[in-house]
Structure formats: C-alpha cells, structure tokens
Structure 1
Amino acid sequence: MEDACCEGMKMVAMRLAMKVLIMVVFLGYISILIMMPTNTFYLRWMPNIRSKTQSTYFGQQGASLLIYAFPILFIATLGAFYSHLGKRGVDRSDSRVQGRSCRYHSWKMPALVKGPLGIVSWIELAFLAMFSALLVWSFSSYLHAMFANVAQEAIQERERVWDVKLDSAALLLGLVGNICLAFLFFPVTRGSSVLQFIGVTSEASVKYHIWLGHVTMTLFTAHGLCYVIFWVNTQQILEMIKWDKVGVSNVAGEISLLAGVVMWATAFQRIRRKIFELFFYTHYLYIIFVLFFVLHVGFSTACVMLPGLYLFLIDRCLRFLQSQQKIQLVCARVLPCQAVELNFSKSPGLSYSPTSTVFLNIPSISKLQWHPFTITSSSNLDCDKLSIVVKSEGRWTKMLYETVSSSSPVERLEISLEGPYGPPSTDLLRHDMLVMISGGSGITPFISIIRELLFTANTASHKAPRILLICAFKKELDLAMLELLLPVSGTNLDISCLHLQIEAYVTREKETVKDDQELIRTVWLKPNTNDVPVSAVLGSRSWLWLGLIISSSFAIFLVLVGIITRYYIYPTERDSNGIYSDASRAALYMVFACVCIAASATGAFLWNKKQSLREAVQIQDMKTPPTASPVARVDDGDWELESLPRQTLIQTTNVHYGERPNLKKILLGIEGSSIGVLVSGPRKMRQDVADVCSSGLISNLHFQSISFSW
C-alpha cells in the first residue's frame, strides 16, 4: 500500500515538473512571436542565432528549425508523455479528484451567447483578445519598421511614395498571415497531445480552426490583391508569372492563394451546411495550398507554420492507417423514428470517456466521405461493444438507414472507422446534480454519460450525482430514442441507484397519434474473418507511442536534412558556384518530412496491431443470434418492456405533449451547491441555456455546451 502511494506521489511530481517545463517553453515560444516584428529580433537576435547554428549541414534553415519548430514539437512530445503518465497513475474515479470544486468556474461561463462567434466562454474570449492583440501588435510593428524610411526607398527605387507603401503593406499582410497559419492546423489535429494537455476536445476546437481560417484567408487575400495592384501601377505585371530560383516565387504563391480562396469560399456556413459535399471535397485543396505555400516562401520561412502542419500530418497518417481496417459490425437496432444504432465489436483494452466521437466511412455509400458520430456506449458498461446512433437527416444518413432497415437487410456492411476521440475525463462526479438538456438527436452524447454513471453508481464507493434529463422531440416516434439509454444486450445493474428523472417533451403532437406504434427491431449481421474489433490506433499506450513517433520522426528528419545538405546541396552549390533553388530545397525537405512521418507512424501502428490481434483472439466467437428480435413499443406514452431495468426506466419518464420545456424556470428552480448543466441540440436551445447560466441569477450552475455542427 505504501509502495503504491509512493509511486502515485512520484507520478504526480513528474507530471507537475512536465507541466511547468511545458509552460516555460510555451512562454518562450510566445515571446519569440511577440519579438518577431521588431528590429531587435531581425537585426540582433536572428543574425546572432544564425551565426551559431549555420553550418554545411543545415544552412540558414537551422536557425528557423531551432526557433520555430523545435519548441512546439518538444511541447507535443512532452504533452504526450504527460498524458501517458496521467492515464497510468491517475484514478479518475477518485472522489478526492472528482469532488474538487472548479477553480475556474467563472472563467468557463459564457461571455458571448449570440453572435457570429457562437457561444464563447470568458476564457476563450480572453485568449481571443490576446491573439487579436498579437496580430495588431505585429501589424503595427511591421508597419512602423517598413514605413520609417519609405521616402528614401521611393527615391532609390524611383517610385512614388504611395507605391512603396503599398508594396510594404502587401508584405506585412503576408507576414501577419503567417502567424495565423502557424496555429491553423492545431485545432483539426484530432489525436493531438497539445489539445489533450490543455483539455480541449477536437470537436470543440473546430470552431477555432474556422476563426483562424477566416482571418488567415482575409490577410492572404489582401496580401495578394495588394501585390497585384502594385504590379499594375508600376507596370510590372509580368511579375505575376515569375518563378525565381532564389527568394519568393510569385507563381507558387498565386496557386496557393487560388486553392485557399476556393476552400474559403465553400467554407461559409450557408454553403457548408446546404452543400456539404462541395465543402468536403474542396477542402482537400489544402494539400495544394500548403505545398505551394512552402514553395512560395521557402522552407526557412515556412518553419513558422511547420510544427502545426507536422503534427497534423502525423495524425493524418495514423488516421489513414486505422481507416484501412474493416470494422466488425455486430448488430443494428432500427428505430421507428428513422434512426439506427450501430453496435461494433470492441477490443476489451479500448477505453474512452463519455461524449467521445468516432468518424465513420461506408464505401458502399461514399468512398471519400467521413462523418462524425457520438459514441453512445460506455467502455466500462459495454466491455465488448462500441455503439453509435445515426439519425436519418441527410443524403448519406438516409442511405445508411435504408440499407440497414430494408426488408432484406445486408448480411455484412463494410465499414471503416477512425477514433475514438474525446476528452481525457469528463469530471462529472464533482457535481451534486447533472441537468442534461437535448433537442432531437442531440440526446446521443447523454446516452454515453448515463450509461457511464449507471456503471459508476453500481460499482464505485462514492455517490453518483442526481440526473435530470430534459429531452425535446418533434414527434412521438422520436421517444424511441430513450430506448437506447440501455445497451442492446441489456444490463443486470440496478438503474434505481442512478437517481434518474426523465422529462420528455413532444413539441409537435398534442396526444398519441397511433395506438399501434412501429416496433424497434434488432438486425444481426454475420461476422467476417477479415473484420476486426474497434481498437485504439496505437494500442493501450497510445500517448506513449505518439510521443515516440513525434520525437523519432523529427530526429530522423533532422539527420536526413543534414546528410542531404552536407553531401548533395552544399557540393552542388560549391562546384557550380551557384545557389541551389529554394523551391527544390523546400520540396526535398517536405518529401523527407513526409517519409519520416510515414515510416515512424507505420512502424508504431504495425507493432500495436499485432498486440491488438492477440487481444482479439481472446474474444470468444459470437453465438448465433436469436431469430426473434427483442422489441419495444410505445402505447399512450407507456413502454411495454420486459426487463426490470427497462421497467424502472419507464417509471422515471414523464412525457409532455404539445409543449416546449420552460428551461429558465426549470434551471432556476433546481437546488444544489453544484449543478452541472449540459446542453446538446439546436443552436437556439444552446443559446437559451447559455443565456440563463450566464445571467447571474443563480451562481451554482456550471455550463457546458456540446455541439457537433460546424
């Protein structure tokens, strides 16, 4: 017991030391970004660093790799080891951890509820303000430095002062845009150790990518237009078709900007939601955008955005490797509300937190489209299955529902999966009560939470919080979604320990429409020897392996860069008395980076795949499913079900017809020292709940919005 306690204290001490070191390195990196636009950085610091780092092995980009790339990749590596130690040494069910009050409760409350940015917390608003201040500072510093001697430069160049100012403004817009680009790829790196370290999920961070994308493309578009206007005014229009061997390549920049503008134009909310496929496919132009951006500015300048791109490429490679496996679909529950629950075989070693998500691809419907879905199962309660719910709302989901629910359903459905991705922990047990508010299919994140708390209430020593589930549906048929609160295989756990109360609202029907509702049926699918259970892409020690991939791939990349520079590029320049093309150098280095990432990620994936296959062998072959499917039906709002857990679930459910929940009245009437308020559903519902929680009328509400609509 004492040895375990000492080991736990050592874990905590190591994590604390790592956290401090990460914060110190991050502050140093931010200091570099702040100093970048100043003469002190360019005239004193950078030349001094280059004089000490420049060699025949790395050349000028050695300083850029050291200053811009190394700190962030070091943070990502250390963050991965930090998460690994946390997964090993921290018991997330410890009441002392879960029972702590939230120190930053007021900072996490909504600051902005309505507006173009959506629901924004105070801490998000603070970071947004600091980032905006960084951009304004960089713009003003570059402007001051470039305009200081503009009159003298105009005389030397024999140009008008206005034209010289336009040239300088175009350049500084591009430099400020590089700062935005440096952060652009972090939010869309799903398995990011950086996001894991700061406690932000990939779903929640997508909005940051959208914000950064708009700002980045605004600056880059203005950068390109200013140069076009400058070339037209100074009669240098032929500059648009120049691809210089040294320095900036204009043609590459124009190709990159064109690809970026096409992505930007299709990423606005109206187009993204109404014509999702157009948005989805055009976003693959990011490959052209990034490639020609690097060729445009050169590898040394591109090092500013290299860390985010590097981590994104690692994540993208791992996702590709995982997606090549075909996942075993065990069964599907078909609901009368045109929804279907898909139940996959899961590796016993796979664990995930509630509200986690997976991305699904079904080649028979679309070979390229990947769609995110919330996991409705609990890794503790459902040891051998992973479940998701798909509501038939769009073209892709309708085709899936029709395929599964047809009178002659397919015997096997080929499915690829990426994930799971989710928070390190949900920390729900610190609340006295949880109020979960959902609209329509927004109930799916709460299914996983309720299943997890059901397991906790029956197995843990401490008390689970009381739960109030408020769910609004359009039609009575949608009430069948409540059937999914329990697994398809049922449960022997006592649901009365959960203290669950369900208030269901049917908004568009005043009374029961039909006496005989459609039945919920289960469709069993035949297993295939080539299908595998869902497992973590890098096994149970995924964070440790991710840290090794980041560090080893970058180390190999540096070795290859040193070798190719010293024994190929440097001799070529020396023998020909010339300069090696910057574009060729940049392309060569990008190829090396991709090769190193692919080799390291593939090696780690194959090693862990062997371990996962050994676990899969231990899973017993599934028994032949019964020919009669378990069914449920709804009559006058009462559920005719057999098992005791389902009967208990019926007793805790109140159905209200023809009305909407009065959320303000409900929330203000709840008593408790700490009330966790989670909302998932339409934007208007989320805004209404956020407005009540941020009004200050009651101080014990802890707000959290769960949104998967981009």
Structure 2
Amino acid sequence: MLQWGGAEVSNVAGEISLLAGLGLWATSFPRIRRKMFELFFYAHHLYILFMIFFLLHVAISFSCIMLPGFYLFLVDRYLRFLQSLRRVRLVSARILPCETLEINFSKTPGLSYNPTSVLFINVPSISKLQWHPFTITSNSNLEPEILSVVLKSEGTWSKKLYQMLSSPSSIDRLEVSVEGPYGPASTQFLRHDTLVMVSGGSGISPFISIIRELIFAATAYKCKTPQVILICSFKNSSDLTMLDLLLPVAGTPSAISNLQIKIEAYVTREKEPSFNNSKLLRTIWFKPDPTDGPVSAILGPNSWLWLGSIISSSFIIFLIIIGLITRYYIYPIDHNTWKVFSYSFRSFLNMLVICICIATTASAAVLWNKKQNAGEADQIQNLEESILSRTSPAGSWLYDAERESESLPHQSLVQAINVHYGERPDLKRILGDCKGPSVGILVSGPKKMRHEIATICSSGMADNLHFEFLSFIW
C-alpha cells in the first residue's frame, strides 16, 4: 500500500485519489447538498487532488480514456476564471416584500443567451469563495442592455444579500463577479400551439424568461405565438408580487396585448388577501464605478469559433511540445526503459504542458477579444439615463391596477390574472381541458409536483400533451 513505483503503477497515488473521490461522493447526497451547501461546495474542490493523483496512479497513456472530457473541462474552467476576475456593473435591484430580489446588471448588446439560462454570481463582501447559480429572467433581444436574475431569500448566502440590499441604509455600490451565462443551446417553445407552464413558488423564475421571449417574438417577428397558460402556486399573498417581474424594469412594448396569456395564481395558505399594500415593490439604483464593466461574452460574439480554435490549437501545441521533449530530452537519456523518468514524472510533465498550453492560448484569445470589443462597452455609458426614461413608476402594478390603467402592457397582464385563495390547482382538470394538436407542459417546482404532472401526461387521457420539466435544485 505504501509503494510508489517508478516503472509500475503507484499504489499511494491511487489511494489518495480514491479518498478524494469518496469525499466528493459522500457530500453529494441530496440532504447534504441542500442543507449544507457550503460543505458540498468546498468538498468538491477535491476534484483537483482526485485528478492529479489519478494521473500519477495510472500514467498518462492509460488516462486517455477520460482525457477528452477533462481537457474540455480545463478549457471551460480557465475561461470562467478569467471572466470572474472582472467586477461587473450592477445597475439596479428590485426588492419584493416576499423576500425576493431581481438584480439588474449592465451587459453589452452583443451578449445573447437563450431563455432558462443561468448565471453564477459571487459577492466578495459575503463570501469570496462561494458561487451560486441563479435563473436569468431577462431576454437578450427584448433587453439588449440589461441582464436580470431573480433570487429567493432562502439560504444563508441569499438571506445576507437580501438584508444588505433591503435595509433602509442600503449600500450604493456592490462588488459582484459573474460566470456565464450558461443555458440550453436552443429552445423549442414556439413549436407548440398551447404552452402550459406550471410553477411552485420561486419556480416561476425560468418562465419569466420564456414569457419575455414570447413578447419579443410577437413584437419583432409579428408571428403567431402559442397561447400561454401560467399556473403558479404560492404560499402567501405577498408572493403574488413575483408576478410584477413578468415585465422588465425598462418598460415593455405595447405588442404584449397580442400575446394570448392567461395566469391562474393560487395562494394555498390564505383564505383571503392579507397583503400589506404599503410594502410594495421598490427599486434601488447603484452608483457607477469606472472599474466595473458590463457583463460580456468572454470570447466575444463569435464564441463558438474562438472556443474551437482554443481547443484545437492548444492541443496541437501540446502534442508538438511533448513530442519534442520526449524525442530530444527523455529518449536519449532513458531509451524507454522507464528507469530514469518514471510513470509519475511523465504524467506530471504532461499535466504541466497541458495547463501551460491551455492558459497561453485561452489568455491570448481573451485579450484579443477584449481589445476588439472595447468600443462596445462605450455604448452603455449613459445606461442609467436611458433606462430611467423608460422605467415604470415605483410600486406594484398588480396591486395598483387603477393607477397603471393608462399603461397597456400592465393593463393587459392585470386583466389576464385570476387569483384563487385557499386552494390548490386541479391539474388533472386543467390539463384535460387543454385543446390543440400540440400542448407543451413545462413544470418548474417541487419534486412532488413534477411527478404528479408527469403521471397525468403519461396516463393516456390525452395524446397531445408533451411533458418537460425544468429542474433548478442544486
């Protein structure tokens, strides 16, 4: 067990790698991952020890069965590291009384992403090491200068952030770093005739981005969009203010009236409204800082082309360098006897050259794109003025529908909302009444809700239901 062989497999390295892997596995159970997220997060940095000692254990030639996947991971991880070094510009935050935040970042117009994408956020004043993923609710086409995420105050980290921003003496600037956005390569929501979206609590977040995508499609392309039925369940009436986030902070085109949308909101724990109308949604604005920059694609608008170039060129350079070292340095001394240069030494040498090649090519690509796209950041210097001129008045349009009656987008959504108190949605009846050749069923919420709807869709009561769930349980 204590043998570290030169010309054979190293047992010690394998044992260390195994222990690191067991640590990763032990902290991945759902109960630990959800209730002790920090332990789960920090323990997963053991992957570094796992991979290093795994390669030292089996030698580089035997590790080629997993090298492609890990090579791609190294490229992505280094690009994320470069992106996280820059502080991003935080424009505003909408604070809801249900302990929910919508955070609005400045972004370059060239950054595009699909609905249901996520963004990893780090706030150094709370924790320099913790990164948390949140759903993006904005639409890159409808809001070319703004990127928004929604977070619910549930865990320790999110509660600290909510208290920091919602306090009467809230700060006027917050240092934030981001990684992403990451999301699906494509979406197929427009292929259905009817779109039924069922959410529970904060599970409504990904549906906000889908609704805004449909608003853009109805506005820009004048195409026929699916009829939308949003079924959302909340515990308390204060949670209804999350419906305020359906419309962006910078205003909405009047073409939303062309969107066929019906919202059925259920408040399960209250028989009648108990919402304090004095505590409505409020918006705070942050002061700009010269050191902050907009959220932008780390490799520019042609990211896939640049990513392919980094992967291929770095690997070719790695092959050339390791070939030259082997031919002109290792082989003349060792002659493939493995007595002078052991398995472990050659594995370490390969790992070192791989890391150097990836870091060099990726850094060069990022610096080149940063120089080329420097002018794009100048387009958003007057971002606050342009947004303020298009921003709706403070407060909740849901609870102040009379004041907002002159606003067509707000009026259209208020008329589409039907609130039910003290009951749960009869999902079997609602889904059974959906007509049309193709009905898309999107679910985002608790596990029990997903299983219930999946059972209904697979029961055979209708052959036009197409089930898909969106899971955001980390």
TM above 0.5, one fold?
yes
Aligned to 1:249: 10
| Cα distance between partner residues in 2 of 1:427 and 1:653 | 25
> CA 1:254/1:377 → structure 2, altered by over 3 Å: closer, same or farther?
same
Aligned to 2:204: 443
Deviation at 1:455, TM superposition (A): 1.2
Q: What's the secondary structure of 1:679's corresponding residue? A: strand
User: Which of 98, 108, 119 pairs up with 1:347?
Assistant: 108
Runs of 4+ in 1 over 6 A off after TM superposition: 626-629
What does 1:693-704 align with in structure 2 at a 5 Å threshold? 693-704=457-468
> CA 1:514/1:341 → structure 2, altered by over 3 Å: closer, same or farther?
closer
| Cα distance between partner residues in 1 of 2:265 and 2:69 | 44
Q: What's the secondary structure of 1:571's corresponding residue? A: helix
For residues 554-573 of structure 1, the C-alpha deviation after alignment (integer angstroms, 9 at most, x for no partner) is 00000011011011111221
Aligned to 1:285: 46
User: Which of 429, 433, 450 pairs up with 1:665?
Assistant: 429
| Cα distance between partner residues in 1 of 2:459 and 2:161 | 42
> CA 1:577/1:251 → structure 2, altered by over 3 Å: closer, same or farther?
closer
Deviation at 1:606, TM superposition (A): 1.1
For residues 124-183 of structure 1, the C-alpha deviation after alignment (integer angstroms, 9 at most, x for no partner) is xxxxxxxxxxxxxxxxxxxxxxxxxxxxxxxxxxxxxxxxxxxxxxxxxxxxxxxxxxxx
| Cα distance between partner residues in 2 of 1:388 and 1:259 | 34
Deviation at 1:701, TM superposition (A): 0.9
Deviation at 1:271, TM superposition (A): 1.0
- Which one scores higher on RCO, CA 8 angstroms, separation ≥ 6? 2
| Cα distance between partner residues in 1 of 2:254 and 2:297 | 27
Alignment pair present for 1:332 and 2:96: no
| Cα distance between partner residues in 2 of 1:682 and 1:577 | 56
Deviation at 1:640, TM superposition (A): 5.3
Aligned to 1:359: 120
Q: Which amino acid aligns with 1:315?
A: D
Aligned to 2:324: 563
> CA 1:351/1:628 → structure 2, altered by over 3 Å: closer, same or farther?
closer
The 8 Å contact of residues 249 and 296 in structure 1, kept in 2 or not, is answered as yes
| Cα distance between partner residues in 1 of 2:402 and 2:461 | 38
The 8 Å contact of residues 249 and 392 in structure 2, kept in 1 or not, is answered as no
Q: What's the secondary structure of 1:494's corresponding residue? A: helix
| Cα distance between partner residues in 1 of 2:100 and 2:19 | 40
| Cα distance between partner residues in 2 of 1:327 and 1:356 | 18
Deviation at 1:495, TM superposition (A): 1.7
Q: Which amino acid aligns with 2:445?
A: G
Deviation at 1:462, TM superposition (A): 2.3
Deviation at 1:516, TM superposition (A): 3.0
| Cα distance between partner residues in 2 of 1:385 and 1:575 | 59
Compare CA radii of gyration and give the structure with the larger one: 1
Q: Sequence identity of aligned pairs in percent?
A: 59
| Cα distance between partner residues in 1 of 2:162 and 2:350 | 46
What does 1:560-709 align with in structure 2 at a 5 Å threshold? 560-574=321-335, 578-623=339-384, 630-632=394-396, 635=399, 641=404, 643-709=407-473
Aligned to 1:371: 132
Alignment pair present for 1:496 and 2:257: yes
| Cα distance between partner residues in 2 of 1:575 and 1:659 | 75
For residues 472-523 of structure 1, the C-alpha deviation after alignment (integer angstroms, 9 at most, x for no partner) is 0000000000000001121233222001100000011110124534111000
The 8 Å contact of residues 238 and 275 in structure 2, kept in 1 or not, is answered as no
> CA 1:243/1:461 → structure 2, altered by over 3 Å: closer, same or farther?
same
Q: Which amino acid aligns with 1:442?
A: G
The 8 Å contact of residues 262 and 282 in structure 1, kept in 2 or not, is answered as yes
Q: Which amino acid aligns with 2:438?
A: S
Deviation at 1:694, TM superposition (A): 1.5
| Cα distance between partner residues in 2 of 1:692 and 1:597 | 49
| Cα distance between partner residues in 2 of 1:343 and 1:556 | 41
Q: What's the secondary structure of 1:418's corresponding residue? A: strand
The 8 Å contact of residues 17 and 51 in structure 2, kept in 1 or not, is answered as yes
What does 1:24-103 align with in structure 2 at a 5 Å threshold? none
Q: Which amino acid aligns with 2:215?
A: L
Q: Which amino acid aligns with 2:404?
A: L
Deviation at 1:619, TM superposition (A): 2.5
The 8 Å contact of residues 522 and 629 in structure 1, kept in 2 or not, is answered as no
| Cα distance between partner residues in 2 of 1:403 and 1:421 | 27
Q: What's the secondary structure of 1:417's corresponding residue? A: strand
Aligned to 1:304: 65
When normalised by structure 2's length, the TM-score is 0.96
| Cα distance between partner residues in 2 of 1:309 and 1:395 | 32
Aligned to 2:81: 320
| Cα distance between partner residues in 2 of 1:697 and 1:486 | 35
| Cα distance between partner residues in 2 of 1:575 and 1:278 | 45
What does 1:256-267 align with in structure 2 at a 5 Å threshold? 256-267=17-28
Aligned to 1:134: none
Aligned to 1:535: 296
Alignment pair present for 1:424 and 2:188: no
When normalised by structure 1's length, the TM-score is 0.64
Q: Which amino acid aligns with 2:371?
A: K
Q: Which amino acid aligns with 1:359?
A: F
Q: What's the secondary structure of 1:463's corresponding residue? A: coil
For residues 679-706 of structure 1, the C-alpha deviation after alignment (integer angstroms, 9 at most, x for no partner) is 0011111111111112222111111110
Q: What's the secondary structure of 1:489's corresponding residue? A: coil
Aligned to 1:507: 268
The 8 Å contact of residues 517 and 634 in structure 1, kept in 2 or not, is answered as no
> CA 1:395/1:457 → structure 2, altered by over 3 Å: closer, same or farther?
same
Deviation at 1:395, TM superposition (A): 0.3
Stretches of structure 1 that go unaligned for 5 or more consecutive residues are: 1-239
Q: What's the secondary structure of 1:453's corresponding residue? A: helix
Aligned to 1:211: none
Deviation at 1:579, TM superposition (A): 4.5
| Cα distance between partner residues in 2 of 1:491 and 1:514 | 26
> CA 1:638/1:472 → structure 2, altered by over 3 Å: closer, same or farther?
farther
| Cα distance between partner residues in 2 of 1:398 and 1:524 | 20
> CA 1:577/1:320 → structure 2, altered by over 3 Å: closer, same or farther?
closer
Aligned to 2:169: 408
What does 1:141-152 align with in structure 2 at a 5 Å threshold? none
| Cα distance between partner residues in 1 of 2:261 and 2:309 | 44
| Cα distance between partner residues in 2 of 1:705 and 1:575 | 55
Deviation at 1:641, TM superposition (A): 3.2
For residues 517-551 of structure 1, the C-alpha deviation after alignment (integer angstroms, 9 at most, x for no partner) is 41110000001111111111111100000100110
Stretches of structure 2 that go unaligned for 5 or more consecutive residues are: none
Aligned residues: 470
For residues 261-320 of structure 1, the C-alpha deviation after alignment (integer angstroms, 9 at most, x for no partner) is 111111111111111110110100000001000000111101111111100000000000
| Cα distance between partner residues in 2 of 1:576 and 1:466 | 71
Alignment pair present for 1:487 and 2:248: yes
Aligned to 1:22: none
The 8 Å contact of residues 693 and 703 in structure 1, kept in 2 or not, is answered as yes
> Root-mean-square deviation (CA), in Å?
1.8
Aligned to 1:219: none
Deviation at 1:638, TM superposition (A): 6.2
Q: What's the secondary structure of 2:354's corresponding residue? A: helix
| Cα distance between partner residues in 1 of 2:431 and 2:60 | 55
Aligned to 1:456: 217
Q: Which has the higher helix share?
A: 1
Q: More deviation in 601-610 or 489-498? A: 489-498
For residues 45-65 of structure 1, the C-alpha deviation after alignment (integer angstroms, 9 at most, x for no partner) is xxxxxxxxxxxxxxxxxxxxx
The 8 Å contact of residues 355 and 375 in structure 1, kept in 2 or not, is answered as yes
The 8 Å contact of residues 389 and 444 in structure 1, kept in 2 or not, is answered as yes
The 8 Å contact of residues 509 and 658 in structure 1, kept in 2 or not, is answered as yes
